[in-house]
Each structure stands twice: as structure tokens, then as C-alpha cells.
């Protein structure tokens, strides 16, 4: 808490950003002005107001909470005026589209903000709340239905909740503000990406699959990343003659969203994509750990041109940890000698359904 800086909380819709900020406000018990970009009248009122208007609006309040701020035109300039006035007003912003909100704040709030990201529930959060034994029994449920708060906290209507989220609601901001003219192309792209989790992705092949062009695919993937639906994993390649360097893998922030896009909530016993589900789950959980612990980590996958590969790599301060992620604890795993010789990793870890929990702390 620092009235000299704005607190900005990013994250997808429905992960609890508003709930979290409201809890903080309730704890401090301060007069608070609530503004939401989802309210048309608020958007009009806060789009390019004069300083005299802002002063009148904020005068009785110590806290100012602007929810879904990316939907308000030039909100960064308005907030800059509040901060620069030095009236000791604590400002909170939340946003479900990092690109739209970040663009609004890039110049106006440089050096004037603390930024955080909130994701669906993490394994470590649920362990603290429910115990290791309690959530270990729910692993299959997490792999199928994901870890969105509403899905975790309610026993019924999981599929309906996820279908609603996986529709345009989850990425409504990029549909409205990202210049997307063909929503059906986004749907086809998401389906194609959902099928390819864990595999290397070619933009040209995706374009052919969804009957579009490479430039559109690249733009839509960028926008879906900004809305916290998907994220990329780039290849580690410091020896371009022997290692691939131009492809990438794409994962979903939440397994439940991925399965809703495919409309497949079948149990693990009848699925043929358990490896993809497990890999997506583990890497997404590691991403949450890196963010929440503010680790200076770079993340990659690795593949040589001779087809040797490693699923996932984290590099922190020049030291690498390599992970092979297999559902079956009996799977034979051997880390390629060419990788070990080239990169000298600090650790090489085989992760499976029997030993994963201590890697998610």
C-alpha cells in the first residue's frame, strides 16, 4: 500500500481480482470510490475528464478502485493526474486485458505503479487451504475441470460455468477492442491450439487449418495472450546449427478452459490426451509460482534437430532446471547427453503423478 503509486492487478476475468481488492478495501475501512469499466456511464464519465472534474469526483474518498480499467479510454492519464496531485489517494486498477491497459499506462504511469497478476487458484494455495491429502485426491478433477474459483468452490454446474467462460466472455475485451472482425476465426484457432497442447505449433499450419493467414493467426494469438487465455513457451536455442529455434509451444492458463473449448469433460480413464493435460497443468502451475514468488525466471522447451527434446526448462540467474513431465511414473526418462553437455543444468527432474507435489511449492 503506497499512495504515491497505483496498484495494478492483471488477470483473466473471473479469477477473483475484484474480490481480492474489495477484501483489502474492507480491511482498511476507508471511504472508497468504486468505478467499473463494465458500466457504460462510468466509461463515459471517466473518458478524458478534466482535472477539475476528477477533483470533484474523488474529493470525499481516500481509496479509488477502478475495475476493468482497460475499458475506459485514456484511464492512465486520469490516474496520473490523481497521483501527481499528491493528495494521498490510494488508487487500485484491475484489468483482464494486459495489452489494452498496459498501452494506456505505458507513458502516463511509468514509475508510478506496482503491477501484479492473479491467476486461477494455484496448487499451493489449495494445499494451504485444504491439506496435501485433501487436494491430492482431486488431481483428476483439476486436470479435467481446471482451477477457476467458481469451479473449485461449487460442486455443481462445473461444465456450464466453464462453457460460459470459454465463450466470448473470457476474452470479450479483445473481441470489442482488439479489432477482431471474425469471431469464428478465433473459435477455430482456439480449438486448433487446444488440440496441439504440448506439441510445437506452426503459424503457417494453423493458418491453413483455420482457413486464414499467418498474420491473422499471429495477431490473434498475441491478443489471446494479452487476455490471459493462452501463453507461449519459446525454444531454448544457443546452438542454432543443432537446435530448433523458430517454433514454439502454446499452453492454456487453465485446463478447464482448454477442455471446454473442445467440449470434452470425459474422465481420464477414457481419454487419449492425458499427457497433454498433465503437461499443461504442470507448466501452468510453474508459471503461477514464478509470478507469485517474483522469480527472475526465463522458461523454455528444448529440441535438437536430431529430435532429442526436453519438455520444460527454467533458467534463473544463469542456472537451469530441466523437467521431463510424464503422467506415468514408470515411463523411462533419459535426459539427452547433448543437452547436458551444452547447458550443464543444475537439476534434471522427472515429474509424474506420484512425485509432482513438491515441485509446485
Statement: residue 240 has pLDDT above 80: no
Q: What pLDDT is attached to residue 254?
A: 97
196-228 pLDDT, tens digit per residue, is: 999 999 999 999 999 999 999 999 999 899 889
Model confidence at 179, pLDDT cuts 50, 70, 90, reads: low
- Could you give the CA distance from residue 155 to residue 163 in angstroms, rounded to a whole number? 16
Q: Tens digits of per-residue pLDDT, 8-65?
A: 999 988 999 999 999 999 999 999 999 999 999 999 999 989 999 999 999 999 999 9
Any long-range contacts for 138-145 (C-beta under 8 Å, 24+ apart)?
Answer: 139/353, 140/267, 140/268, 142/255, 142/281, 143/255, 143/268, 143/274, 143/277, 143/278, 143/281, 144/255, 144/256, 144/259, 144/265, 144/266, 144/267, 144/268, 144/277, 145/255, 145/256, 145/259, 145/265
pLDDT of residue 142: 97
Predicted pLDDT at 71? 87
Tell me what pLDDT residue 167 has: 82
What pLDDT digit, counting tens, does each position of 336-360 carry? 999 999 999 999 999 999 999 999 9
Of 11, 149, 148, 7, residue with least CA distance to 68:
11
Q: How long a stretch of residues is the chain?
A: 361
| C-alpha distances out from residue 314 to 187, 238, 297, 348, Å | 31, 15, 6, 11
Residue 13, C-alpha cell as written in the block = 476475468
Three-point CA angle 149, 152, 155, nearest 5°: 130
Whether the Cβ atoms of residue 17 and residue 103 lie closer than 8 Å to each other? no
Please tell me the predicted confidence (pLDDT) of residue 291. Answer: 95
Strand partners of residue 64: 33, 91
**Mean pLDDT, range 62-90, rounded to an integer:** 92
Put residue 248 in one of left, alpha, beta given phi > 0 → left and psi -120 to 50 → alpha.
beta
Give this prediction's pTM: 0.93
Is the separation of the CB atoms in 249 and 236 below 8 Å?
no
Q: What class has domain 6-117?
A: alpha beta
Q: Where are the domains of the chain?
A: 6-117, 123-359
Amino acid at each position: 500500500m503506497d499512495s504515491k503509486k497505483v496498484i495494478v492487478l492483471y488477470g483473466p476475468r473471473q479469477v477473483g481480482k475484484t474480490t481480492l481488492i474489495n477484501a483489502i478495501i474492507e480491511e482498511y475501512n476507508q471511504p472508497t470510490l468504486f468505478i467499473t469499466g463494465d458500466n457504460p456511464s462510468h466509461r463515459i464519465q471517466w473518458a478524458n475528464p478534466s482535472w477539475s472534474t476528477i477533483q470533484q469526483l474523488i474529493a470525499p474518498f481516500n481509496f479509488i478502485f477502478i475495475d476493468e480499467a482497460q475499458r475506459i479510454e485514456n484511464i492512465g492519464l486520469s490516474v496520473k493526474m490523481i497521483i501527481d496531485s499528491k493528495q494521498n489517494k490510494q488508487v487500485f486498477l484491475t484489468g483482464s486485458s494486459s495489452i489494452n491497459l498496459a498501452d494506456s499506462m505505458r507513458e502516463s504511469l511509468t514509475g508510478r505503479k506496482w503491477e501484479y497478476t492473479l491467476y486461477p487458484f494455484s496448487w499451493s494455495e489449495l494445499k494451504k487451504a485444504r491439506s496435501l491429502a485433501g487436494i491430492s485426491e482431486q488431481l483428476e478433477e483439476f486436470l479435467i475441470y481446471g482451477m477457476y474459483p467458481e469451479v473449485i468452490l461449487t460442486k455443481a454446474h462445473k461444465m456450464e460455468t466453464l462453457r460460459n467462460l470459454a465463450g466470448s466472455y473470457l476474452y470479450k475485451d479483445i473481441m470489442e477492442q482488439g479489432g477482431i472482425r471474425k469471431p469464428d476465426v478465433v473459435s477455430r484457432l482456439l480449438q486448433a491450439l487446444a488440440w496441439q497442447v504440448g506439441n510445437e505449433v506452426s503459424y503457417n499450419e494453423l493458418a491453413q487449418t483455420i482457413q486464414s493467414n499467418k498474420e491473422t493467426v499471429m495477431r490473434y494469438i498475441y491478443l489471446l495472450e494479452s487476455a490471459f487465455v493462452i501463453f507461449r513457451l519459446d525454444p531454448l536455442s544457443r546452438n542454432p546449427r543443432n537446435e530448433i529455434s523458430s517454433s514454439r509451444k502454446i499452453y492454456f492458463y487453465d485446463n478447464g478452459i482448454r477442455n471446454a473449448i473442445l467440449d470434452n469433460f470425459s474422465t481420464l480413464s477414457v481419454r487419449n490426451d492425458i499427457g497433454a493435460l498433465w503437461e499443461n497443468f504442470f507448466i501452468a502451475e510453474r508459471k503461477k509460482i514464478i509470478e507469485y514468488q517474483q522469480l527472475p525466471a526465463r522458461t523454455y522447451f528444448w529440441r535438437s534437430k536430431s529430435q532429442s527434446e526436453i519438455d520444460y526448462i527454467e533458467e534463473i540467474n544463469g542456472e537451469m532446471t530441466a523437467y521431463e513431465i510424464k503422467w506415468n511414473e514408470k515411463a523411462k526418462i533419459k535426459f539427452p547427453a547433448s543437452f547436458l553437455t551444452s547447458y550443464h543444468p543444475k537439476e534434471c527432474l522427472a515429474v509424474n503423478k506420484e512425485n509432482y507435489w513438491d515441485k509446485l511449492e
